[in-house]
Structure 1
C-alpha cells in the first residue's frame, strides 16, 4: 500500500556573509543516520505540519504551512524567524515508490541580517552538525562525496549558487502551488529519479504529476552514484 502523503514545510535561511560581502550563506543540518527518512543527508531545517500549526479552523492551509516552517526552524535549529518574511517559492512531493514516508513539502525562503543567526544550532536528536556555508562550498562538499544532498535540496542548492534566490524572493506563491512529483526507476544496480519534464516520465510507473513551469531549468534525471545523487541532462 502506498503511504499517505503528509504536509511538510522547509526553510532556506540566507544571510549576507558580512556587511561588505552581500553574497549569502545558508544554514544546513545533517539528518541523523538513524532517521527513517533521508538518513545522514544534509538538509534545510523543516518538518511535518502539525495540528498545533492551525490557530483557526477557517484560516486555510497556507497559513498552517508557513507556521510549521517557522516552528520547525526554531525547534531544529534555534532560529527564530519572522513569519511575515517567509516566501513560499517551491513545492515537491515524494515519489509514490517511496515505501516508508511521503511528504508534500513547501519550501520557503527568508533572509536575515549579517549579525543574526549566531545562535543557530542543531537539535542533537533528529539533526546534528549544523553549519553556515555558501551554496558553492556545500556543492564542493557534495562533489567530494562529503555530504549527501537529496534531489530537491540539490536542485535548490544549484539555483542558490547561480543567484536565483533573488528571483525566488519575488516569485508569486501561486506559481509554487503545483508540486514537483518525480518518479523512481531502477537502473542496473542503482536507481534514478525521473523528473516531470523528462520525455519518458508519463509512461513510467508510479503516480504522475503535472509539469510546472519552474521545473524546466532543472535536470531531467538524478542517478544514485556512490554516496551522492548526480544530475543528468
Structure 2
C-alpha cells in the first residue's frame, strides 16, 4: 500500500481479532522501529502476544478489546520527547497500515505497570500504539475546516495545500486539532493552541505535513513557535 493511501485509510481501531501477526510482518515492522530509534535516539519497542496491558478497567472504559500487541513509545526525558514520540510514532503507525495492520494511539486507557517493555532510568513511557488486525477498519474522524488550522500570507501554494490536506487526516488527542500551521513566504511554522498531549499531536501533524507536502520540516529545518 502506497504511503498516501495508507494515510487516507488509517483510522483508529480499538477492537481486534484473535489473529497472530506473521513473522515476516513483525520483521518489517521491527526494521522500521529500529530505523526510527536510530534517527531519533528513542527507545520504541514492539510487544506481541501480551494481553495484560489492556486487561484492566481502564482498557474496558476506553472500549478496547482483543489487544495482544502494542508498540511502546519510550524515550529519554527531554524537552522535545513528546514531539519526537508523536512524529516517529505516527511514522510507525502508517508503516503498520501499509503492512495491513490497524492501530490506535493510547495515552491513558492501558496499564503502564503491566506493560511488558523496558523503560530504563531517565526514560519515560509516553504512550502506546495498540496493534493488530481490527474487527473493522475504523471510521474517519471529523476535521475542522482547513482555514481554521492554518494561516497563509498571500496565495496558498499547492504543496502547502497538499500538506494541510494530509494534516487534516492526522489523529490528535480527543480529535481536538489544537494546532495552527502558518506560512510566510517559504517559512512554515506550527504552534499548539493548548489541550491534552498537545506536543505529541504536534509531532503527529508534522509527519503528516511532510508526507503530504513532500517537504522536510521536522527538526532543525523547522522553525517552531510553541
Q: What is the TM-score normalised by the length of structure 2?
A: 0.30
TM-score (norm 1): 0.29
Of the two structures, which has the highest relative contact order with CA contacts closer than 8 Å and spacing of 6 or more?
Answer: 2
More strand by share: 1
